[in-house]
Amino acid sequence: MEEISVRIKEAKSILTDVVHRTPLNRSFTFSKMTKGDVYLKLENLQKTGSFKVRGAYYALWKRVKKEKIRACVAASSGNHAQGVAYSAQTLGIRSVIVMPLYTPFYKVQATKSYGAEVLLYGETYDEAFSKACEIARSLGAPLIHPFDDYDVIAGQGTIGVEIYEDLDNVEVVLVPIGGGGLISGIAVALKKLRPEIEIIGVQPEGAPALYHSFKKGRLVYVDNIYTIADGVAVKRPGERTFRIINELVSDIVLVDDYEIARAMFLLLERGKLVAEPAGVLPIAALLSGKVDIRGRKVVAVISGGNVDMSLLSRIVERGLYLEGRVARIAGLLNDRPGELKKVIDVIAEYKFNIVSIEHERANPLIHPGAAKVTLGIEVPDTRSVIKMLDKLKEKGLDFKLTMGEENGERGYLYREGP
């Protein structure tokens, strides 16, 4: 660990004029919601949109300085690709990035915009990585690993130094985990500066390789992964990162995609910050109660902000439902003129805005003389919806809240509180 600490110190010096020193902002909202003292380390505001540029630049700088390399290779479907491409361009060397065939177009274009030569290959990251190794051998160029490289780990560790410099009495630091490079670097830096700090990792339930590895004390590979947090969707953790995590990290917790989506929504609405799913894992852990921070001073590392806009729009739409700000009500009406107007008149009386109407007659399970109507309405809170449903019932119109178990979904529509 001492050798990595030395590299972190060097990386801090090298990166000073290359990357942003990102803000560490206290969140009144999340502090109130969790009864802790919550600060956000905003790596979503970093160059290229994530922390990855720190490790990529430091690793490449060392190789340019010591090995005089003129090219590098990497495999990535997102943030590491952009970090390597930007770093290579800044250092004046060639970069070849292999990305899986189905990488979203905007990620490919972002990587190309930093001067990289992008090759789309393979259906999975593992296939792209194998191809990148092959290209690296043929070019005689180094392959910059996204996490299992001590220089990359050291570069990410500069975040830990910045946290300590801005908040030296921090008690707990929550960090997203994919392959483990980010949390390894932060853990080495912070444990060196203040050994009593607790470092807690957060992984998605759909990609829990390091969680299971940590709990079992040995490396565990997960073949089937599925999560919206694609930035941490890693099947095979790093051996180097695992050793560091095993020694320095206090715990690792899991959050599900619903909790991740809610964290993204609340960070956007309350914090005015855009973050990708992987970037909000610590917020998801705090809001879901997976980590109890009552009365403690906590830093949540928001690791990146490169989110697909189409996903973000779906997150906002879902978030409005989950937070009880948009409700869906459904009921059966007699299939004749004027019946729907009765429902709309009651909704108008409560000054709710209708955002969608679905009218279903053809379903063979519905009585031939009836139609199922589902309405999406903007509402101030759940209590108001319940009152409106009671008023509809008084008029002989039996409507119920939907968007629940029948759709294979779950939410917080009935939850009171912040």
Tokens of residue 126, six digits: 């593992």
| Residues sharing a CB contact under 8 Å with residue 22, sequence separation 6 or more, in sequence order | 41, 42, 43, 45, 46, 159, 162
C-alpha to C-alpha distance for 274 and 183, rounded to whole angstroms:
21
| Catalytic site residue from 76, 77, 184, 303 | 303
C-alpha to C-alpha distance for 7 and 4, rounded to whole angstroms:
5
Sign of torsion over alpha carbons 379, 381, 384, 390 = positive
| Catalytic site residue from 47, 52, 191, 192 | 52
Q: Maximum CA pair distance of the chain?
A: 81
Asked if residues 301 and 173 have their Cβ atoms less than 8 Å apart, the reply is yes
Asked if residues 15 and 159 have their Cβ atoms less than 8 Å apart, the reply is no
What count of other Cβ atoms lies within 10 Å of the Cβ of residue 92?
9
Tokens of residue 78, six digits: 């997102």
Asked if residues 154 and 11 have their Cβ atoms less than 8 Å apart, the reply is yes
CA 382 to chain centre: 28
| Residue 342 a catalytic site member | no
Asked if residues 192 and 185 have their Cβ atoms less than 8 Å apart, the reply is no
| Residue 107 a catalytic site member | no
- As beta bridge partners, residue 400 has 330
Catalytic site positions: 52, 303
